[in-house]
Structure 1
C-alpha cells in the first residue's frame, strides 16, 4: 500500500517508564526499514516547541534496549495545552517536513495529541508508556512489569528484616490513580492487606485483622499501600495503627521512584518492541490517530480520542484472594 507519510517524529512524554527506549528503538528501526526519515524529539512536547529535534538512524538506537529511562528525555509542557503552543509546534514540524508522530506516554500526552491532530491534520500514534497500567485498551503498559518486579524484590527484602524483628511493615508503592502495582506486588509477596484507590479503605477492618493476627501470635505482617489510596499513604495508615495497636512494632517503607528506574524486564522489552513496530506500520498503512495496545496477545487499535485512564473497579475476586491467602 502506498505510504501516507515520509518523515516521522518520536517523543516520550509525561512520566518515564522502563521500556521506553525499547519502543524508541523499534520505531526508529522499523521506520528506517521502510525508507522513512525518523526524527527524535527531545523532552516531549517541550522539545517540539523548541525545535530540539535530530535525525535518527539505526546506530542512534544501538545498545539502548536494556536501558531504563528514555534517551529522548521527557517533560511536561503546559504551553502545548494552549492553541498558541500547538500552532508553534505545527510550524516546527512543517519546517522540517515531519508528517507523522509517535507519542510514547500516558493519557495526558494522548489528549494533547488528539487536539493537535484535529487542528493540523498531523497523524499521531499513541503508545502507553506508564508504570501504573492505568490505560484502558491494553493488558499491559510499557514499564508496568518492570515496576512491579522492582516492588516485589524490595518487599521480599523488607520481609526478611520484618521476620527478624517480628515487625509490621507498611510499604507504599506508586499508583496515584491506580492500584495495580500494589495489587500485583502485594499478592506476589503475601501481603496481609492491600490498600488501593479503586476500593474504599476500611481502616477498622485492617485494625481488626491485625488484632486477630496478634492474638494468633502472627507478628510478621505486611501492608502494601498504593500512594493514591483514598485513606492516605503509608504514613497515614501507620499513624492510625500505632494509635490503636501500640504493642505492635510498626515501620514504614516508601519505595518511591526506585520503581521507575532500572533495566526493563523481558516482557517490557517485548511489548515495547511490538508496539513500536506496529506504530510505524499503522502510519504507513493509513491507520492514523490510534492508540496501539495489546489485548489477549493481539494488537488492539483504539481511536486516540477514546483512550482514557482505566477507572474500572478491581475485581472483588482479587481482594478475596488476598484475604484467603493471607490468613
Structure 2
C-alpha cells in the first residue's frame, strides 16, 4: 500500500485531531503517503483532497474540533455519490481510507468497502453510542466539560435553594447524562435507556424536601425531551419553580483530555496497521483497555447498552 487517506464526518469531537495526527504519522513512518479529505464525504465527492506531511499535523494534538472540517452530505447516500468519491480516490492513487466519526460515518465507510474500496472506521463522537468499543473519541472530554458545568450550577442552586434542570447531549444514548450525573452528585438522571416518569421525579424531590434538602440537580439527556419541556411537566405536577440550563455545543469543544488523546492515537495507529495488513470494513475500538476491531456488520448488530448498575448506584447515593 503506497497511499491512504483520512476524513472526519458527522459531529466533531475532541480528539479527532489527535486521531488525524496519528494516522498521518503512523503511515509516513511506514513510507505511505497520506491525503487529507476536507469537509467529510462532501469533500470526497468534490475532490477537496490534499497531501499531508509530518508538518501538516504538527501542534494539533491538543486542539479540539477537526482540522479537516466536517459536513453532512446527502449526495453521498446515493450510489452515484459513492462512486464519485471512489473515483476521486483512485485518480490520486489512494488505496485505503480511514473514516473518523459516528454511526452515519461508519455506514458510509461500509458502502465504500462494499464497492471494493478498503475503509477502516474510528469511533469519533461525544455520545459514546458506538458499539464495539467501551469509549468513543471525545466522550471523556465532553464528560469533563459537563461535570465542570454541573459543579458551577450546583453552587448557584445551593445559594438560591432552587431546583436546576441541566439538559445535556445524547439523542439515543444516555452515557453523558449518566456518567456526569453520577460524578456530579445529581439527584435525578433522565436517560433514554431507563423509563422515568414525572411522578418518580416529583416523589424524589418531595422526599428530599421532607428531610430538609433545599436544592436539586436534575440531568436530562436530550433524547428524552428538552430541558424546557421537562421543566414545564414538572411545574404542572409539583408547582415547583425551576431553572433550566441547556449546555448545547459547549460539550463538543475544548482541548481533549489526556485519555482522549491517548485513545485516539492508539485507535488510529491500529487503523493504519489494518490497512497495511490488507484488511477492510473494520471498526477499531477499545475494550477492557485492549485495542480490538470488528466488522461494520458486527458493530451495527450489537446494541449499545449503558451500565445499569451505575444508574442504580446514582439513585442509591442521591437519596
TM-score bracket, shorter-length normalisation? over 0.9
Who is 1:236 aligned against? 229
* Aligned residue number for residue 248 of structure 2: 256
CA distance in 1 between counterparts of 2:142 and 2:8 reads 18
1:45-96: CA deviations, max 9, x gaps? 1000010010000000000000000000001111111011111111111111
Deviations 1:286-321 (A, max 9, x none): 222210101011111101232238644434322221
1:69 corresponds to 2:69: no
User: Is the 1:289–1:304 Cα contact (8 Å) retained in structure 2?
Assistant: yes
Question: Partners in 2 of 1:14 and 1:312 — Cα distance?
Answer: 19
For residue 155 of structure 1, what is the aligned residue in structure 2?
150
Q: What SS does structure 2 have at the residue aligned with 1:69? A: coil
Tell me how large the CA RMSD over aligned residues is: 1.2
Q: What is aligned with 1:325?
A: 317
Given candidates 197, 203, 207, the residue that maps to 1:208 is 203
Give the counterpart of 1:118 among 114, 117, 134: 114
1:58 aligns with 2:54: yes
Of 143, 164, 173 in structure 2, the residue corresponding to residue 178 of structure 1 is 173
Match in the other structure for 2:274: 282
Distance in 2 (CA, whole Å) between partners of 1:203 and 1:213 is 15
Show the counterpart of 2:194: 199
Answer yes or no: is the 8 Å Cα contact 1:111–1:305 preserved in 2.
Answer: no
Partner of 1:226: 221
What is the rounded CA distance, in whole Å, between the counterparts of 1:208 and 1:275 in structure 2? 45
CA distance in 2, matches of 1:312, 1:276: 22
Deviation per CA, 1:114-154, whole angstroms, max 9, x where unpaired? 112111x1110000000000011101100000001000000
Q: Indicate the residue corresponding to 2:162 in structure 1.
A: 167
How many Å separate the matches in 2 of 1:312 and 1:109?
A: 17
| 2:291 equivalent to 1:299 | yes
Do the aligned partners of 1:199 and 1:314 also contact (CA within 8 Å) in 2?
no
Aligned residue pairs total 319
Alignment check: 8 A CA contact 2:198 2:237 kept: no
Matched, 1:314 2:306: yes
Instruction: Tell me the TM-score normalized by structure 2.
Output: 0.97
TM-score (norm 1): 0.95
Say whether the 8 Å CA contact 1:135–1:309 is kept in structure 2. no
C-alpha distance in structure 2 between counterparts of 1:126 and 1:151, whole Å:
27
Q: Displacement, 1:217?
A: 2.1
- CA deviation vs aligned residue, 1:135-186 (integer Å, no higher than 9, x gap): 1110110000000100000010000000000010000000001000000000
